[in-house]
Structure 1
Amino acid sequence: MKTNLIYLFIFLLNSNNLLHAETLKLKHSPNPIIKELNAGEFKLINSGHKGDKNVLAFSGLVYDHKRHTLLAFGGGHATGLFPNSVHSFNLTTLTWKQLTPDVPPIEYSDKNAVMTKDGKKLGGVIFKGKPSPGSRHTYDGLTMSVDGSVMICAQAQEFIGAARSMPKPNGKKAGFYRDFYKGGNGLWLFDPDTSTWKVSTPAGLAAGYCLSESTPKQPDWIYIIGHKNVFHKVNIKTFEKRKIKSIHGVQGTPSMTYNPLDESFLVFPCGSRQKNITKIFRYDIQKETWTTIPAAGESPNTYNINVVYDSAQKVFCCFNNGYFFYWNPIEKMWYKHDKLLEESFTAKRMGHHHIYDPINNAHLLVTGRWNTYAFKFPTAK
């Protein structure tokens, strides 16, 4: 009797997961252009978006599963214009839209800086009466909440010491980065329904050069790993912070991905001197322990690119230098698709602009000028 109850529980659990997947498909219709792609086919599906291309500089992209869109936010020190706008790509109509304006650089001042009551900087600016996070490279620091209500920015506002001069609208010099770019490490939350931001009341929650990820088992928490030995998780409703176990070798703008197969986070390490992945770090969420997995096969260089989970194929995928790679967690083996897709897909152009779209069963990626592509897994089901 006990065994039968266990089997019944497992059946109901799997049925619930399948029901959730089918509910998403019923709510959002596949796009015929993407749906009809053949296995291994790669296609440009949008070009010409007029948003500031520097939003994408060393920055991230997330899949908004609630609205079936992509969300992009970033900027950083790639330009003196400090773009900090949010952009959305509709996966049904295949169109980009700018959701928020870019704050002019001159507005980055002590007077307008968003701070805590005790004067700690949160990494934002008040513009037209509303709080907005300052421009920053977001790397792997963007995550969608489990319920899809908000996009979370766990990346701190950095580069406050840069001495490069910035242009002023009238052509004269406006000063230096450090004069305007105030920095700060509050946790910022973006509501796509209202196109508004809010920020944590305490500082010290976001991290520089960070990784961030969430898990359905803990829907109110986001896990953050960052520069200067930051290992913690934050409750996005109460802003409580708890330390998690640390491990050497996972920091420095690699990629962290949730693994639903065994309730873990996988970190694909990288470095400017490291050409290929030699191992993968695994964090067991329940046991709160780290282990390492040897990376066999033809592995990619994951410097400044992200690895995403393909739920149809049950593998982890990325693009590197024009090629498509995937890692099979059962075989613990990397594979490389032998067809060159696009020679210009370098780390600088790609950044963390790759997501998996479960509705269309396709991989979406965006290059530095908002060119948006769709790719079907070489042996797509």
Structure 2
Amino acid sequence: MIVIQSTLGLLIKAYNKISLLNKKLQRNESEYLKGLRVLSLFSGIGAFEEALKNINIDFKLVNYCEFDSSVSKAYSIIHNVDEKLNLGDITTIDENKLDDFDLMTYGFPCQDISALGDQKGLMDENGALTRSGLFFEAVRIAKKKLPKYLLAENVRMLVSKKFKTQFREMLKLLDEIGYNTYWQVLNSKDYGVPHSRNRVFLVSIRKDIDDGQFKFPEKIQLSKKASDFYDSFASQDHYLREKDMKYLSEFRLKKKYSSLNSDIIICQTTKQGNLANPQNFIRDKKGYRVMTSRELLALQGFKKKYAEALLNEGFTKEQIGKFSGNSITVDVLERIFEKLLHTGIKVENKILKNENII
């Protein structure tokens, strides 16, 4: 009996110590994440920021950087921030004057990489940087400031055979400035959103804090259909005229250049808000129509109320369609951030895997 009581007492003491350690580590993790400082480059309407908010990361936005003044205004409305935080033209940023930050997001332009663009790559035939070549401006800033994490997104074509050499050079450059980079092509439909959108994501972790354990999120079962996001009402200007019906041809639907009442919509483009060349159509009791601004943003993971706020500020459905088509699916970013920011606990400047604590 004495032996049993003694053993039980030791087990209770050990359990209390483990519980105390867990509480301490959880507190340290909370404090670590609460202080996350973010620099957002090529911000668009702020998909990265929306994802951080959705998973309850209490972060501080150091600055955002958006060249297009109308997009900057939309960003400020959606995220309720002062446009004075906008750095504007990335090529004019003095990296020496930037405040420190822990995370840099940079969904750099895809126009010169995309299958729908001219595919010049990061540099043209004369060696001049293209719009997609603004990637190097982001690297310039990262090299000077050396934040803990870098997170980028671009079209799948970036990792195709055509751009294989350039992509390898990008990874080499990130390695040279001090980062281990993990990359993978992810499709939005595999992360809870009925939207077929393949994009490549690059997660770069500074070498001195990387434990080599980062893995991209596993696919999840899709439980929603596009119709779950439909509005019950759409104004008349969303409905197709006779001359617009050509975009609903059997050929376009078969080739998936367009979709009609699909459970999973095809990839949104910047033309989605237009009647002239949209991608996803809905047939209802009133006829054939394009998606509303609310529907488009919702199928990129944004809240529908953002569309209402933008419309109330004078933005058109065409503008909002372009914003949405240019953005990143928020749900995918949420899953990546959960992996990146919750896989480890910071203790005395080291990252410990949760399962290895006890």
- TM-score relative to the length of structure 2: 0.35
In terms of fraction of residues, the more strand-rich structure is 1
- TM-score relative to the length of structure 1: 0.34
In terms of fraction of residues, the more helix-rich structure is 2
